[in-house]
Amino acid sequence: MNELPPAVRQLLHANQRQAAIDLLSEYLANDQKEAERRIDRYLEDDPPVHLRGAAVVRASRLNALIWLILIILTALLALIFAL
């Protein structure tokens, strides 16, 4: 088992390291030290990426909706002031 299970990776990407260690230790039959070692190695080899710019908008539909409304309001204000 070289790669972490998807549920453990999801916890790591949600910044829940201790929960990921606990879950992986259950997969490894309560081997807490081995779970912590594997998670540390995973975080060194593949650190989580913090979203910026357009990726943030893509990650959340609510965020995308807010940006869309702001763009439309800005366009309407530009039309009003242009008249």
- Is-contact 57 63, C-beta < 8 A? yes
Task: Name the H helices within the chain.
Answer: 6-13, 17-27, 32-45, 54-59, 61-82
pTM for this model (two decimals) = 0.56
Per-residue pLDDT of 7-43, as tens digits, reads: 998 888 888 999 999 999 998 888 889 999 999 998 8
